Amino acid sequence: MTPRYSLSQIVLHWAVAVLIPSQYWTGGSIERTHHAVHMGLSPDPWDVIQHHVHTYAGIIIGALMVARFSLRLIHRGALRQPAKSPVDRLARAMHFAFYAAVIAQAAMGFVASYFWFGIAPIHVLGSRIILALLALHIAAAAWHTLVWRDETVDRMIFPRRTPS
């Protein structure tokens, strides 16, 4: 059986999974807020709140993903273990693509918020890439659960037991 994830890896995974939808729900407020300011108007207070939620949740997501990637390297030796099959290689590539896309997205959002708003169009493109990766990730989880009926999804729900 493939080893299970640690409790810290599971908590980080699900924390990011809970926070990422907030980015899509609040992302539109960024454009509305900036548009109002550029037109000399006061932005809607609810848009300002959403703008802050989007910014700070993005920073948190970036930090959580860096921690999650670090734990993956530490606990699973992800770069040292050879992939056993083409499916394993694909899964590894997808996970690394997810890490790279989400960490890059958080970094671009930070840059857009505090240094250079010109990167915003690439940040928007990144959100679409993450949505595509998310759809593939959910489809793969469903495939593992419903078709192959293996324990892949269980590994991300139930932490590994420590030896007694």
Which tens digit of pLDDT belongs to each residue from 102-126?
A: 999 999 999 999 999 999 999 999 9
- Choose between 131 and 157: higher pLDDT: 131
Confidence grade of residue 74 (pLDDT, cut at 50, 70, 90): confident
Confidence grade of residue 3 (pLDDT, cut at 50, 70, 90): low
CA distance 6 to 92: 18
Residue 78 has a pLDDT of 54
**Mean pLDDT along residues 47-57:** 97
Which tens digit of pLDDT belongs to each residue from 12-44?
A: 999 999 999 999 999 999 999 999 999 999 999
CATH of 7-155 among 1.20.950, 1.20.1180, 1.10.3470, 1.20.58: 1.20.950
Q: What is the DSSP string of 114-142?
A: HT-GGGHHHHHHHHHHHHHHHHHHHHHHH
What is the DSSP code (8-state) at residue 1? -
What are the φ and ψ backbone dihedral angles of 96, each rounded to 5 degrees?
-65, -35
**What proportion of the chain, given as a percentage, has pLDDT over 90?**
72
**Mean pLDDT along residues 127-156:** 92
CA distance 84 to 43: 54
CA distance 12 to 60: 11
Average pLDDT of the chain to the nearest whole number: 90
Q: What are the extents of the domains in the chain? A: 7-155
Confidence grade of residue 6 (pLDDT, cut at 50, 70, 90): confident
Q: What would the 3-class secondary structure string for 46-81 be?
A: HHHHHHHHHHHHHHHHHHHHHHHHHHHHHHHCCCCC
Which tens digit of pLDDT belongs to each residue from 137-147?
A: 999 999 999 99
Which tens digit of pLDDT belongs to each residue from 75-96?
A: 765 556 677 889 888 988 999 9
